[in-house]
Amino acid sequence: MRKVLIPTKLESVARETLKAKGFAVVQDADTPIDKLAAAHPDTEALVVRSEKVTPAVIDSLPDLKVVVRAGAGYDTIDFRHARKKGVDVMNTPGANANAVAEEVVALILAHLRFIVPGDQTTRAGKWEKKSYMGRELSEKTVGVVGLGNIGQLVVKRMSGFDVKFLGYDPVVSPDRAREMGVETVSLPELFQRSDFVTLHIPETAETKGMVNKSLLSLMKPGAVLVNCARAGVVVEEDLRQVKQEKKMGFLNDVYAKDEAGPKSCADIADIMVPHLGANTVEANTNAARRAAEQLIAYFERGVTKYVVNKGVPDGLDESYQHLAYLVAFVGRRLLGADRSVNRVECSFCGGLHDFAKWFTSPVVAAVSNDFDAASDPQEAADYLAKKGVSFEVRAPDGDKGYGKAIAIDLFEGRDVIRKVSLRGTITEGKPLIARVNDFDNVYFQPAGNCLMVIYQDRPGVLAKITSAVAEAGINIDDIRAQLEPSAKRALAVLKTNRLLPEDAVARIRREVNADVAVAMALP
């Protein structure tokens, strides 16, 4: 009989479902997870919510085969150490989505109609009706940043209020967005036009601090920002300054740490609640049921669809998955981080074609900001389908003699198509970008900080670029320059000791009339 350990207050449906299938279930929310694990070393499966699953916990369970996070985020689980130990880690994505979407609606309505202060003052015996002249949600513009499971449900739940939706999600095709009733726009335009902006993106290296003064300054006076995503996405001090100037509203459910104590945003939040987004009976029941069902499918039928730390199949060098990520990452930034990718085409040469599906997740993770590269290939395919993005694997052309190489093309638009195309390979153990569009034999290593500029070739341009970098106080470690076969356009790739600030990039773009100028920090 397989033993399942549940060291958390998870809805009983998980325990009951597993017991009905013959599992031995130990559920104990009071004993610390490390002590509970030590008392049950024969545990084969662990189901957790926010408990930290550390290397020590994993090592104390020699029979452990799988850890299931009853929820979407799994940053409290050391999934890399789990992989080293041969332990699969799964999550239950989407189980909490509706709860968070409904919370967004509740926060906005409570803010518009002064529900919280109205309750407090009336209970105190006051009658301050004249102080609480509210506003209506109807016919306003709602900007949704991130159109994943939660973002799409926000649109669905708020549609009955006759609002106009703007959306920003670089991996949702315009056609799919239109089906949802959403107009896709750039991030600055979304902040500029919206009466309400609601955030539904993860906190990553790219999204951390994304909502800063430059975006917040674009918001209308009296507009409202809702953050039920992650605290680090918003630069709090910038919000503090702009909020005072524009009399904005700020509704918040996320913090640097989920714990008691003073909160740094208390002076600027009009409503703040203790991370209640997924805290509903229904969401917890859904997550609990999903966790149990996934465990049963895992042990009875070997279903690994929701494993987020999968290894690689025999015969595939994992470094080529990283190469696929890097090639797509660079291509994504050359296309434009705020542009919607609606088609991806890939070629895997030199025997890599046999492993094509194993490259899907790293490619999707590189072009998106809310998808984990360690996810299952089927999850990647489902993610793209939901976003309305087509993904095609082309048959490799063996006559070109590329050896082991990966080519990735990213497309934006249907009537007027923009495209970037890159090819990468690995030489002496190092990933290299060999081709960028029509610029061949580039061979630069995608690592660290770099600046890429594409411009009409003419004398003196490269000097202007390097001067602008120097004036920004940044050293140049390496330069690669390449001409197109037509000799009309040139590519400059500069490796720098620090990331070039956006104002310096904008200056270069303007002074050399560049077709493309982008600085990026490569992982």
Q: Is the entire prediction scored with pTM above 0.85?
A: no
Residues 6+ apart with CB under 8 A from 443: 427, 432, 433, 434, 480
| Largest Cα–Cα separation, the chain | 84
- Give the three-state DSSP class for 23: coil
Per-residue pLDDT, 372: 78
Q: What is the DSSP letter of 127?
A: -
Lowest-confidence segment of 174-183, 397-406, 478-487, 508-517 by average pLDDT: 397-406
For residue 226, what are its two tokens?
């809702």
Residue 182 pairs with which residues in a beta bridge? 165
Written as one letter, the residue type at 55 is P
Q: Which pLDDT score, from 0 to 100, does residue 378 have?
A: 81
- On the question of pLDDT at 398 being above 90, the answer is no
pLDDT for the residue 162? 95
Q: CATH number of the domain at 97-272, out of 3.40.50.720, 3.30.450.40, 3.20.20.70, 3.40.50.300?
A: 3.40.50.720
Alpha helices, H only, 133-259:
149-158, 174-180, 187-193, 213-216, 236-246
Fold of 3-94+281-301: Rossmann fold (3.40.50)
Give me the percent of the chain exceeding a pLDDT of 70: 98
Q: Read off the amino acid at residue 464.
A: K
108-155 pLDDT tens trace: 999 999 999 999 999 999 999 999 999 999 999 999 999 988 999 999
> Which CATH code for domain 449-523?
3.30.70.260
For the chain, the structural domain boundaries read 3-94+281-301, 97-272, 310-446, 449-523
* Residue 338 in this model has a pLDDT that exceeds 90: no
pLDDT at 401: 58
Note the CATH number of domain 310-446.
3.30.1330.90
Tens of pLDDT, residue by residue over 402-412, are 689 999 999 98
Q: What is the pLDDT of residues 293-328, one digit of tens each?
A: 999 999 999 888 888 887 667 778 889 999 999 999
Q: Would 3-94+281-301 and 97-272 be classified into the same CATH topology?
A: yes
Q: What is the mean pLDDT of residues 92-106?
A: 93
Query: In angstroms, rounded to a whole number, what is the distance separating the alpha carbons of residues 265 and 472?
Result: 33
**How many C-beta atoms lie closer than 10 Å to residue 232's C-beta?**
18
Angle between helices 281-301 and 97-112 (to 10 degrees): 170
Q: In the predicted model, is pLDDT for residue 336 greater than 90? A: no
Q: Report the mean per-residue pLDDT for the chain.
A: 92
Is the confidence at residue 203, as pLDDT, over 90?
no
Q: What percent of the chain has pLDDT over 90?
A: 76
Task: Return the minimum-mean-pLDDT range out of 27-31, 410-414, 479-483.
Answer: 410-414
Q: Find out whether 496 and 463 touch, Cβ atoms under 8 Å.
A: no
What span, in angstroms and rounded, lies between the C-alpha atoms of 11 and 291?
11
What pLDDT score was predicted for residue 104? Answer: 98
